[in-house]
Structure 1
Amino acid sequence: MTEPNRRTRGIQRGPRSIQVVESVRAATLAELSRTGFAGLTIDAVAKAAGVSRPTIYRRWPSKAALLQSVVEPLLERYDVDPRTGSAFGDLLALMVLIRENAARPEGRAMITAATTGAAELHELVHAANARTVAPFHRALQRAVERGELSPASDVPIIAYILFQAVVMWEPAHGSPPSDPDLHRILTTVLTPAV
């Protein structure tokens, strides 16, 4: 016997909706920690969150969308620029932010999922990386405008190097970069080679 088609009211708003979103985000994070991205299923998330599959699919039509909802609060942190008054201070604050985000369960889930090379994550990983590098571009551009960096500075390359230095530190060294490591990286990148 087939179940009759049910009409739904679409995506709901309000306190219950907020509760559902938070429950699904928590369930997704727990499932990612338990099974990894490859083992993540909509059924398992729905069951763990105490909601129906249609509830999940209305807001999150794919596993990538579920992962996006988990990491969005971390990505939002890159939307607010540090304003320390110096290029060194702004860039260091951004490097610390990457390190902090990577240490959070949501950051770990994103890093682990991204390393699977899943084709369905290509767009999400690209967008997350671009959003993370963007404040470096803005900080460096402010530094050029203040005269701290030469107008000839290759802002996109400097931003990319600083971003990658933090992201790749732990896989290369077995632990996140320390504060002295971050200072050393930043000083090296910002000091012109003779």
Structure 2
Amino acid sequence: MTEPSRRTRGVQHGPRSRQVVEAVRAATLAELARAGFTGVTMDGVARAAGVNRTTLYRRWPTKAALLADVVEPLLARYDADPGTGSLRGDLLALMTAIRDNAARPEGRALIAAATTGAPELGELVRAANARTLAPFHRALARAGERGELEGLGDAEVIAHLVFHGVVMWEQAHGAPPGDVDLDRILGALLPGRG
């Protein structure tokens, strides 16, 4: 009687699985930093992580899935609201979070990948932008409930301007916005609410 062939099981969970996930995340970041998104290969990530290609493909079927997993902890930070009690305080906390997250390896990888225009990243980039912009909308909605928006104008436009003011600052100025720069952006959009 012959032994039945061993079947590969699905995605595993447990200590070894966590080690694999962390090794793949680290390898993905290293490969993104070395070769950029378009130069990353699944074989290269598997080799750098010391895992089998089948292990990699079982959990991450595409390069976009790898990048999405790498940046998920960074994006999860935008699911919680600062709740400082003031519009200015909430917006400043969110602007600081965006600036600081953009400086992290995961943030740099997402920004660099997004600027490639790779079609396979379209959905990830849209979802990341929406998820990052959502707490700005929530902060403005809370401010409206507190009566802080009186005389300010279009809250949706303010959310976009504050968000993109931080996101685009480094491209326009060659360095991330400092605390003074964040204050300047807010001052321009929230005059007299210092």
Indicate the residue corresponding to 1:118 in structure 2: 118
2:152 and 2:190 in contact (8 A); partners too: no
TM-score by length of 2: 0.93
Shift of 1:39: 0.4
Alpha-carbon distance change, 152 to 6 in structure 1, aligned in 2, over 3 angstroms: farther
Indicate the residue corresponding to 1:170 in structure 2: 170
Indicate the residue corresponding to 1:36 in structure 2: 36
Identity fraction in percent: 70
SS of equivalent residue, structure 2 residue 168: helix
1:28 and 1:45 in contact (8 A); partners too: yes
- Aligned mates of 2:17, 2:64 — CA distance in 1: 20
Q: Which amino acid aligns with 2:92?
A: L
Confirm whether residue 48 of structure 1 aligns to residue 12 of structure 2. Answer: no
Confirm whether residue 67 of structure 1 aligns to residue 61 of structure 2. Answer: no
2:42 and 2:63 in contact (8 A); partners too: yes
Q: Which amino acid aligns with 2:130?
A: A
Q: Which runs of 5+ in 1 are unaligned?
A: none
Indicate the residue corresponding to 1:93 in structure 2: 93
- Aligned mates of 1:114, 1:152 — CA distance in 2: 32
2:95 and 2:162 in contact (8 A); partners too: yes
Shift of 1:191: 2.3
Indicate the residue corresponding to 2:160 in structure 1: 160
- Aligned mates of 1:62, 1:163 — CA distance in 2: 29
Shift of 1:15: 1.0
Aligned length: 188
Indicate the residue corresponding to 1:57 in structure 2: 57
Indicate the residue corresponding to 1:146 in structure 2: 146
1:41 and 1:63 in contact (8 A); partners too: yes
Confirm whether residue 77 of structure 1 aligns to residue 77 of structure 2. Answer: yes
SS of equivalent residue, structure 2 residue 176: coil
1:144 and 1:151 in contact (8 A); partners too: no
- Aligned mates of 2:157, 2:169 — CA distance in 1: 18
Aligned-residue CA RMSD (Å): 1.5
Q: Which amino acid aligns with 2:68?
A: Q
Q: Which amino acid aligns with 1:122?
A: G
Q: Which amino acid aligns with 1:173?
A: H
CA deviations on 1:74-125 (whole Å, 9 max, x unpaired) are 1011011001111000000000000001001111111111000000001000
Q: Which runs of 5+ in 2 are unaligned?
A: none
- Aligned mates of 1:150, 1:131 — CA distance in 2: 26
CA deviations on 1:15-65 (whole Å, 9 max, x unpaired) are 111111111000000000000000000001001111111111111110000
Of 31-40 and 145-154, more deviation after overlay is shown by 145-154
Q: Which amino acid aligns with 1:149?
A: L
